[in-house]
Amino acid sequence: MNDTEPASRAVTAALLVIGDEILSGRTKDKNIGFCADYLTEIGIDLCEVRIVPDVISEIVGALNAMRARYTYVFTTGGIGPTHDDMTADAVAAAFGVEIGEDPRIINLLLQWMKPEDLNAARRRMARVPKGAALVENTVSKIPGFWIGNVIVMAGVPAIMQAMLTAVGPKLDTGKRTVSVTILAGDVAEGAYAAELSAVADAYPALGIGSYPSMANGRFNNEIVVRGKDAEAVAQAAAKIEAFLARLQAEKV
C-alpha cells in the first residue's frame, strides 16, 4: 500500500473504436492492444471496448453510455477531412455543445499549407466541439481533442500512439496494477483448476486468470495474477507455482 495512492481510488477507462473498416475486416485494429498496454502501464484500468460503425447515432449512444460510467473515454478514428469522418460531430452531439472551426487549428493548418489549399474539406479537420482542449499530434500535425472526460484521437496507429503519449502525462492515474505470469506449459487446465480456484478465493481482491494457447498443436497454458497490492500478488503467485511444481513432478 502506498499512502499517496489508496488502492480504492481506481481510475477507469473505456475505448471506443469508430469505423466501418474494422467491422468489415478491411482494416485489422492495432489500437486496442496499444491502448490496453499503455493505460495499464500508467495506472488506468481499461474496463470496456466497443467498436461501432461510422453512424452518428451509434457513436453518440456508445459515447454517452461509456462517459457516464468511466473516468475517461478514448476514441480512435473518424477525425479526418472526408465525409465518413463524423467523430467530432458525434462528440458535440453527445455533449450537446456547438461545433465550429477552431482558430488554433486553422492557424496550425496555415503553417504548412497555402491559404488557397485550405479548402472546405481540410477546414473540416479544424472543427471541434466548443470548449474542447487540443491533443498534440507530433506525426501529422492536426490535433485530436479533449472535452469533458472524452479524448478523441486519430485512427492511424502511428498518430493515435503519438496522441495517447501526448495526453498520457496529463491524465489522472491510480495505483498501477502489478502482474505476474506463471508458465503452466502443458499441465492441463483441468488438472490445476480446483487448486487455482482455491487461491482465487483466498485473494478476492486479485484477478487470477488461466490462459490456454496452442503452439505446435499442444497447449501452452499460462496463469496470470494481477492486482494493486504487489505483496498479495507475490504471495498468490508463490502458491500457484508450488502446486504447479507438484503437478509437473506428478506428470513425470
For residue 186, state whether it binds a second copy (rule: CB under 8 A). no
* Sign of the torsion angle spanned by Cα atoms 103, 109, 113, 119: negative
Which of 56, 110, 158, 205 touches a second copy (CB under 8 A)? 158
For residue 99, state whether it binds a second copy (rule: CB under 8 A). no
For residue 214, state whether it binds a second copy (rule: CB under 8 A). yes
Q: Which residues pair with 222 in a beta bridge?
A: 183, 211
| Cα(79)–Cα(152) distance, integer angstroms | 8
Which of 42, 81, 148, 173 touches a second copy (CB under 8 A)? 81
Stretch of residues binding a second copy (CB under 8 A), selected from 43-51, 126-134, 164-172, 235-243: 43-51
Which of 98, 190, 204, 249 touches a second copy (CB under 8 A)? 190
Shortest distance, position 252 Cβ to a second copy, whole Å: 17
Q: Is 6 or 209 the residue whose CB approaches a second copy more closely?
A: 209
Q: Give the cell for residue 35.
A: 491502448
Coil, strand or helix at 160: helix
Q: Is 68 or 194 the residue whose CB approaches a second copy more closely?
A: 194
* Total of chain residues touching a second copy, rule CB under 8 A: 72
Stretch of residues binding a second copy (CB under 8 A), selected from 28-36, 93-101, 166-174, 243-251: 28-36
Stretch of residues binding a second copy (CB under 8 A), selected from 42-50, 96-104, 227-235, 239-247: 42-50
- Specify whether the CB–CB gap between 174 and 10 falls below 8 A: yes
Q: Is 98 or 201 the residue whose CB approaches a second copy more closely?
A: 201
- Specify whether the CB–CB gap between 130 and 95 falls below 8 A: no
For residue 242, state whether it binds a second copy (rule: CB under 8 A). no
Which of 56, 193, 202, 245 touches a second copy (CB under 8 A)? 193
**Start-to-end C-alpha separation, the chain:** 41
Q: Which residues pair with 153 in a beta bridge?
A: 76
Coil, strand or helix at 164: helix
Helix 230-251 / helix 189-202 crossing angle, nearest 10 deg: 150
For residue 80, state whether it binds a second copy (rule: CB under 8 A). yes
| Cα(22)–Cα(53) distance, integer angstroms | 8
Which of 5, 10, 11, 36 touches a second copy (CB under 8 A)? 36
Which of 56, 112, 197, 238 touches a second copy (CB under 8 A)? 197
| Cα(112)–Cα(141) distance, integer angstroms | 9
Q: Is 142 or 167 the residue whose CB approaches a second copy more closely?
A: 142
- Specify whether the CB–CB gap between 48 and 38 falls below 8 A: no
